[in-house]
């Protein structure tokens, strides 16, 4: 029944040690998003894919990268995590057929802790 | 620039009280507005959305929201809340393929 799956749910990494977060979907949606959400703040869009087309937000640090090897999977790579990158990372999908007004379907999130 | 603001960060209500959560947006293009809800331990999910047409939008679980263009508002309402409505509520405004979220309102309903 799960539609957007994120692994792991909790991730602990060390300062500067690369980490990869994973997202998969069973909805066959064209668009996949990665958000960063810090405590008491709004989810902040980092980037999104429309199929294989990558769309980076202007203020997303270079430290954050993403890969989408196929329709179902999308990865968030943090090359050198800093203490300020500790947050909840949310993956979401949308159909991509309308463009405007589309519902996004969210995964449960991965909480990243940087030591 | 597109922005969404929510005025209430934490709201506490007794069961059966009426609810109104404020949301204001600023966006120059086509307006798409959403309310998402996150119940404790669960993922974000859509409560309702406005794309076009009737400005009064009805969503799941008895929630509704009214798009008032002149006030740049999209407030969420429910006439009588239940304990199970305890959750965090996010207003969001969308452009093409993207949305901007507000900071969220935590609603606590006391039995």
State pLDDT tens for residues A87-105: 999 999 999 887 777 899 9
> pLDDT confidence of A1, banded at 50, 70, 90?
low
Is A95 near chain B, with CB under 8 Å?
no
For chain A, where are the E strands, in sequence order? 4-7, 10-13, 19-25, 31-37, 44-50, 53-56, 64-67, 73-78, 87-94, 105-106, 110-114
Which residue in A43, A101, A107 is closest to B101 by CB distance?
Answer: A43
Which residue in A90, A99, A107 is closest to B97 by CB distance?
Answer: A99
Over 70: is that where the pLDDT of A2 sits? no
pLDDT digits (tens, 9 = 90+) for A63-77: 999 999 999 999 999
- pLDDT score for B30: 73
Is A28 near chain B, with CB under 8 Å?
no
Taking contacts as CB-CB distances below 8 angstroms, the residues of chain A near B95 are 100
- pLDDT score for B88: 96
Taking contacts as CB-CB distances below 8 angstroms, the residues of chain A near B42 are 108
pLDDT digits (tens, 9 = 90+) for B11-46: 999 999 999 999 999 877 777 899 999 999 899 999
Over 70: is that where the pLDDT of A109 sits? yes
- pLDDT score for A100: 72
């Amino acid at each position: 029944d799960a539609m957007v799956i994120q692994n792991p749910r909790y991730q602990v990494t060390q300062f500067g040690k690369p980490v990869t977060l994973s997202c998969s979907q069973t909805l066959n949606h064209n668009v996949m998003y990665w958000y960063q959400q810090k405590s008491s703040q709004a989810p902040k869009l980092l980037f999104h894919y429309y199929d294989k087309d990558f769309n980076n937000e202007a203020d997303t640090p270079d430290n954050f990268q993403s890969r989408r090897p196929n329709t179902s999977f999308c990865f968030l790579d943090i090359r050198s995590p800093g203490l300020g990158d500790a947050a909840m990372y949310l993956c979401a999908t949308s159909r991509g057929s309308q463009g405007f007004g589309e519902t996004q379907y969210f995964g449960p999130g991965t909480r990243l802790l940087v030591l | 620039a597109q922005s969404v603001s929510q005025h209430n960060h934490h709201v506490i209500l007794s069961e059966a009280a009426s609810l109104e959560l404020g949301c204001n947006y600023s966006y120059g293009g086509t307006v798409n507005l959403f309310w998402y809800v996150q119940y404790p331990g669960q993922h974000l999910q859509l409560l309702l959305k406005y794309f076009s047409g009737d400005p009064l939008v009805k969503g799941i679980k008895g929630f509704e929201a009214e798009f008032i263009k002149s006030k740049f508002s999209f407030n969420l309402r429910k006439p009588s809340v239940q304990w199970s409505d305890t959750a965090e509520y996010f207003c969001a405004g969308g452009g093409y393929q993207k949305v901007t979220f507000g900071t969220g309102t935590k609603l606590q309903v006391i039995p």
